[in-house]
């Protein structure tokens, strides 16, 4: 995987995280949450970094699953919604999801923006006692989700970088 790709940096973070655990039982269920701004712990629709928090979550879910851990997808619907152009199996609407999730651990984190990077903090937390059983911090370049061209398309909008 090429350096500069967000997934590359998240993999580095995941390796650092699991290097700090002692004999972690990979058969115990884990849920992975969206990474949030450390200052507010709230995502605003206007926040340009929201997509980073979501993609870090998605990349960690992928990496943990590929490593053989028991990852629970708590956003999975109990019924498939068939629409004209899509088959929807995931939701972020709490009313559509199961109220109880069977998991022993949650993997979550925060980020803080600096000039050209995000400082990303990740924690593996035992749900029953809130103990942090592993943690890691690393830097991810701000431009790791898009290339270095001067004009690009993101979220159906034309973006022009600094010249």
Q: Regarding predicted confidence, which is higher, 101 or 106?
A: 106
Answer whether residue 104 shows pLDDT above 60: yes
Structural domains counted in the chain:
1
- The CATH number covering residue 142 comes to 3.40.50.10610
Helix (H, G, I), strand (E, B) or coil at 53: helix
H or E segment and range at residue 50: helix 50-66
Q: Residue 1 domain-assigned?
A: no
Structure confidence at residue 4 (pLDDT): 67
Residue 73, SS3?
coil
Global pTM reads 0.83
Q: Which domain holds residue 36?
A: 6-160
Beta pairing partners, 120: 111, 138
Distance CA 27, CA 30 (A): 9
């Amino acid at each position: 995987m090429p350096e500069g790709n967000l997934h590359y940096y998240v993999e580095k973070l995941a390796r650092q995280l699991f290097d700090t655990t002692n004999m972690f039982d990979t058969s115990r269920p884990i849920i992975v949450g969206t990474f949030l701004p450390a200052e507010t712990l709230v995502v605003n629709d206007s926040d340009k970094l929201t997509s980073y928090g979501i993609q870090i979550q998605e990349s960690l879910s992928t990496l943990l699953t590929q490593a053989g851990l028991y990852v629970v997808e708590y956003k999975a619907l109990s019924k498939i919604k068939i629409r004209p152009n899509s088959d929807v199996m995931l939701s972020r609407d709490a009313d559509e999801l199961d109220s109880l999730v069977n998991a022993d651990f949650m993997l979550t984190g925060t980020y803080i923006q600096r000039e050209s990077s995000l400082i990303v903090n990740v924690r593996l937390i035992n749900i029953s006692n809130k103990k942090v059983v592993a943690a890691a911090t690393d830097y991810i370049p701000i431009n790791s989700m898009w290339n270095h061209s001067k004009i690009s398309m993101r979220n159906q909008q034309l973006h022009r970088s600094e010249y």
